[in-house]
């Protein structure tokens, strides 16, 4: 019994170190946060972005390790969800900008001069997919 507990603790700790190291490497090697501040023209507030990522990671880890639920009204949840979605969207935009994903994808599928069409197709696909998920699958 004691060996299984020690093994579980060791595997959990090793997994946490691996995920944490990957997350830090993702943010630092690719330069996601500095690029995000360049895109939004908020270089003076880079420390707030860094603190937001750290607090978000710690809060997410705390909530996932504990059985914690927040009982909030939809009026409070709407701005929280909107802010979270905007931040994650900006983070994803910074990642694709850093990696030059859209020009490479446009060249591979043969629409070099129409990157705006490609981006709008991805945006509308995400919007319609999210609406379908939330309106059809979640509220059944």
Residue 95 makes CB contacts below 8 A (sequence gap 6+) with: 30, 32, 101
- Please give the average per-residue pLDDT across 60-79, as a whole number: 83
Q: Answer yes or no: is pLDDT of 133 > 70.
A: yes
Quick one: pLDDT at residue 140?
Answer: 61
- Please give the average per-residue pLDDT across 85-102, as a whole number: 74
- Please give the average per-residue pLDDT across 115-136, as a whole number: 82
Mean pLDDT of all residues belonging to the chain:
80
- 0.85 surpassed by pTM: no
Residue 91: closest CA among 140, 138, 45, 32 = 32
């Amino acid at each position: 019994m004691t060996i299984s507990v020690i093994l579980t603790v060791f595997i959990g700790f090793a997994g946490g170190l691996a995920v944490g190291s990957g997350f830090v490497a993702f943010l630092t090697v690719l330069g996601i946060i500095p690029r995000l501040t360049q895109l939004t023209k908020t270089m003076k507030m880079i420390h707030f972005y860094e603190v937001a990522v750290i607090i978000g990671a710690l809060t997410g880890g705390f909530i996932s390790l504990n059985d914690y639920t927040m009982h909030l009204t939809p009026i409070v949840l709407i701005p929280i969800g909107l802010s979270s979605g905007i931040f994650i969207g900006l983070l994803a935009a910074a990642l694709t900008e850093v990696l030059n994903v859209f020009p490479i994808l446009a060249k591979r599928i043969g629409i070099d001069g129409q990157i705006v069409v490609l981006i709008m197709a991805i945006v509308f696909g995400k919007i319609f997919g999210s609406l379908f998920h939330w309106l059809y699958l979640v509220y059944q």
